[in-house]
Amino acid sequence: MDFMITLTCVWFCPVDLFFVLDTSESVALRAKPPNFYIDQIKSFTERFIMELKEMRQPCDRSLTWNSGALHYSDEIILVRQLSDIATERQALISDIKGISYIGKGTHTDCAIKRGIAELLIGGSHYQENKYIVVVTDGHPLTGYKEPCGGLQEAANEARHHGVKVFSVAISPDQEDTRLSVIATDQNYRQNFTAADNSRSTQLKTIRSIIDMIGETGRQGMPGEKGDIGVDGNLGDPGPVGYRGMKGDRGGRGDKGERGHKGYKGDKGQRGTDGVDGRKGDPGFSGLAGCKGSPGPDVSPSPNVCVDGCLLSLQGDPGPRGDQGREGSSGANGEPVRTIGPKGPRGIKGAPGDRGQIGNRGEDGAPGNGTEGCHGFQGGKGTPGPKGDDGEPGNPGLDVSHTVYICLSISCKCGPLDLAFIVDSSESIGSTNFALAKDFIITVIDRLIKDQQFGFNESRVGVVQYSGDGAQEAVRLGDPNINTLTELKQAVRDLRWLAEATYTGEALQFSLTNMIDRLQQENRVVLVLTDGRSDITRDKTPLNTLCGKGIKVGGLGVKDYSGRQPNHEQLSAVVCTSDPKPGFSFVLENFAELLDDSFLQNLTTRICEDKKCPNYKCPINFSGDTDIVLMMDSSASVGQRNFDSSKTFVKRLAERFLSAERSGRAAVRVAVGQYSRERRMEAELTSNLTLLTRKIDAATFQNDGTDVTKAMAFAMEQFNTSGGGNRKRKLVLFSDGRSQGVTEAMLEKRVRLVSEAGVELYVITVGNQVSEANLRSLVSRGRSYDVTYAQRHLFRVPDYPSLLRGVFYQTVSRRVSQLDTDC
């Protein structure tokens, strides 16, 4: 029996496929927990590898797979080199499962170039069968320098080596513009998605890419021309042929392939300036200053403080004018011829016409009054009834030259040098970085407006930072930055760096390149960050600025996943162990940087060491006095405003306990707070250090409001402290609103306070108040007395206004009842 043996040759076509996986901070922080999208990427890659199966194709060809992977952030970690999937599939999947995200900057261009190198070094010799699958969010979009030439250059390099790059978004809402740049052909982008709630979406992406890689190839090129055959015999000549007709026109050719994407164009011209914002509302009027000394040759009178206004007489009055000419006599009456007794004297005749006014005398020498401090304007009193016309008197001296000199004597912030150190890392995001730049400009403007900050002697500079060696500084005095306007523009022009977070290195850079060059003794540095420095790679300590006489303020902002700034890192930055530690704020988001209350608190902290003119009107206690200060700790106040109340109360306590005293008069101060419950934070004491420490320790209650119980609670403090002959004062923070309290109940409690010999003063903040209840609080339980009420009720528009100017001096002067016009 004969057997026929058929031999079949199978050609193996290897495909080299390499995965480039983004595990940067922007991916990790897109959802909670941070591993959510990282796990999705790993799951997508594992499923992809499981779908890489040997495929039979026409002409006895079999498609096989070599695959490897890397993941990256601002560094690249090789997961596994190209390996034969037939034997190394499970090993590669195991390595993929072991990926732990890096969570720093995003250097996609560097990662793609590394993937190209892995394909060229470790793959097969077939140059047309090499593919890369890049899984990324396309972040960041714009605004930073890409360290390896950029995405466009990386894609061009892949095309040059014949490597095809597929671009896969992590989720459907990614930056499609940058993802399209990554793909080396428009068909290699499409709507590929790696992370989705539906398993079918992942599989659709995977199978679409595999189908595009394993599709049947195009028809091969024609074979080589054969050898020339043997010459044939010469044939008979044929007839002369006719000229043929013109052939039909050929069909239109196929459309050519799409050209490469063009390079990024030049930066456009700067746009026109925006329209100026509307003018702000007018500020509140100041109070009058202190009365000055009288001018020379004027009878002496004591200096008088009229809530900050200076009263002065200008020199001697001029001489009296010449007397007017006498009026003409009336005609003589007819004599009475009858003889009788002398009658009574007749009534005085009407006065003659007034003489002409005399010439004005020469001005006297200027008075020598001293400048008074800026006070607060009192409320306008109600006009009294018009009195009866008086009898005309003799012309007197001209005293029309009495003048009031009210001078603005605001405390000034500075001179000081101010530096901003701003986190420009990837986790900040381009939108938040723009808010950070707006914040810097706003702080500068607010310092000038609210704190009278002058830049003639002061300097300001800005450092933005991100990863290793990624710092940029702009400062007043740099070339082309000679004015504040030019500095603000330089800040606006800063471009987001979008790399890792090296806060320690940034602090050292700022110290060397900016802070050490500042000249003022008073130096303030504000560090704005989301509070998560990469201390494993950045070995520069975070306390670099400590122990150098610098006030450091830390502004920690939650990142966009809601994580709190690292408390230990923030404490190290602000030098909490220094003799004079810095300060810190923690904000919910970057938008809060532009909140008015926060900006007021911040500029106040920056300018704590103000230079103020010494124009204080002294206060004096003529007898033993006890003063209780009751702060409002209800929910309507809020934590920040409660902190402002504490600072204000400390200023009052310092004024009271350092006041002048007649004889052996003693002053004691107590501080309490009330909400629905009452607390006495510090009982009556003359020890300012102890009192200040206890005020600082007071915590916000954040509950309801019961003002009547607050007054009763304060009365208990007075009654248990002894000293029946001591004057007693109660200073109460209240907006008049109180749960369950009627006007009658309030008047009754106020009357009991007054009858107990306690003088009640009320400080009210804002315009959300109960006017009826406020009138009751300052009525002493009697008929409303406008003059008394105006002296015992203080109003400010908001809590930051408590700390502005000399308002605390005005309150302390009235409470002390100084026997002058203060």
Give tens-digit pLDDT for 433-453. 899 999 999 999 888 876 666
φ/ψ bin of 276: left (φ > 0), alpha (ψ from -120 to 50), beta (otherwise) = beta
Q: Determine the Cα–Cα distance for residues 731 and 822; give it in Å rounded to an integer.
A: 18
* 3 state SS of 733: strand
Contact (CB, 8 A) for 746 and 760: no
DSSP string for residues in 499-543: S---HHHHHHHHHHHTGGG---S-EEEEEEE-S---TTT--S-TT
Given a cut of 90, whether residue 319 has pLDDT beyond it is: no
Q: H/E/C letters for each residue in 174-220?
A: CCHHHHHHHCCCHHHCCCCECCCCCHHHHHHHHHHHHHHHHCCCCCC
Over residues 322-342, the pLDDT tens digits come to 554 544 444 444 444 447 445
Output the six-digit token pair for 491.
Answer: 């800040």
344 exposure class (CB count in 10 Å sphere: 0-12, 13-18, 19+): exposed
Q: Please tell me the pTM assigned to this model.
A: 0.47
Over residues 615-628, the pLDDT tens digits come to 567 888 888 899 99
Given a cut of 90, whether residue 564 has pLDDT beyond it is: no
Query: Residue 690: its pLDDT value, please?
Result: 93
Q: Determine the Cα–Cα distance for residues 747 and 777; give it in Å rounded to an integer.
A: 7
Over residues 40-54, the pLDDT tens digits come to 899 999 999 999 988
Query: Residue 375: its pLDDT value, please?
Result: 44
φ/ψ bin of 509: left (φ > 0), alpha (ψ from -120 to 50), beta (otherwise) = alpha
Given a cut of 80, whether residue 281 has pLDDT beyond it is: no
Given a cut of 50, whether residue 715 has pLDDT beyond it is: yes
Q: Determine the Cα–Cα distance for residues 86 and 64; give it in Å rounded to an integer.
A: 8
Q: Determine the Cα–Cα distance for residues 429 and 443; give it in Å rounded to an integer.
A: 21
Q: What percent of the chain has pLDDT over 70?
A: 70
Buried b vs exposed e over 314-342: b needs ≥16 C-beta within 10 Å?
bbbbbeeeeeeeeeeeeeeeeeeeeeeee
Over residues 734-769, the pLDDT tens digits come to 998 988 888 889 999 999 999 999 999 999 999 888
Q: How many residues does the chain have?
A: 822
Over residues 628-685, the pLDDT tens digits come to 999 999 999 999 999 999 999 999 999 999 888 877 888 999 999 999 899 999 999 9
Helix (H) or strand (E) holding 93: helix 85-97
Query: Residue 259: its pLDDT value, please?
Result: 60
Query: Residue 223: its pLDDT value, please?
Result: 53
* 3 state SS of 327: coil
Mean pLDDT across the stretch 367-371? 43
Helix (H) or strand (E) holding 552: strand 550-557
What residues form DSSP beta bridges with 83? 67
Over residues 145-191, the pLDDT tens digits come to 678 888 889 999 999 999 999 999 888 766 678 888 899 988 888 88
- Provide the mean pLDDT of the chain: 77
Query: Residue 451: its pLDDT value, please?
Result: 66
Tell me the pLDDT band of 454, cut-offs 50, 70 and 90.
low
Over residues 496-543, the pLDDT tens digits come to 888 888 999 999 999 988 887 776 778 899 999 887 888 888 899 999
CA angle 646, 652, 654 (to 5 degrees): 105
278 exposure class (CB count in 10 Å sphere: 0-12, 13-18, 19+): exposed
Given a cut of 70, whether residue 39 has pLDDT beyond it is: yes
Over residues 181-207, the pLDDT tens digits come to 899 988 888 888 888 766 677 888 898
794 Cβ contact list (under 8 Å, min separation 6): 761, 762, 763, 764, 807, 810, 811, 814
